[in-house]
Structure 1
Amino acid sequence: MLLLIAIGLLGWFVVSCVFAPLIGGAIHRCDVLARRRSVEVLRSRAQHPATHAA
């Protein structure tokens, strides 16, 4: 029984080590895209006529 638990934990560790860089890369790409879009949104809001005083 203890051997099965050890094998399960080892398998979980291996799967985590394999998928962690993939998930981290996807999160990083989403973060970069969100920053890029937030700059575009702020720039377009600054140029919109409703934001300027009359």
Structure 2
Amino acid sequence: AVRLPEDLAPRLRTGTPAVLARVHDGAALIDLRCVPDTADAVLTAAVCAALSEG
């Protein structure tokens, strides 16, 4: 899983495309086993966009 700051979870969820992260122990976790290889660039862009909003 990719571990991100917990406060990114709502921004990821409301972004386009929506990314659902599991919140656990103060972190937002994205399970990469659930992301097809073809979506890596889209996921990276969504995470970068969420990070830039903060």
TM-score, with structure 1 as normaliser: 0.32
TM-score, with structure 2 as normaliser: 0.32
Higher helix share: 1
* More RCO (CA 8 Å, sep 6+): 2
Over alpha carbons, which structure has the higher Rg?
1
Higher strand share: 2
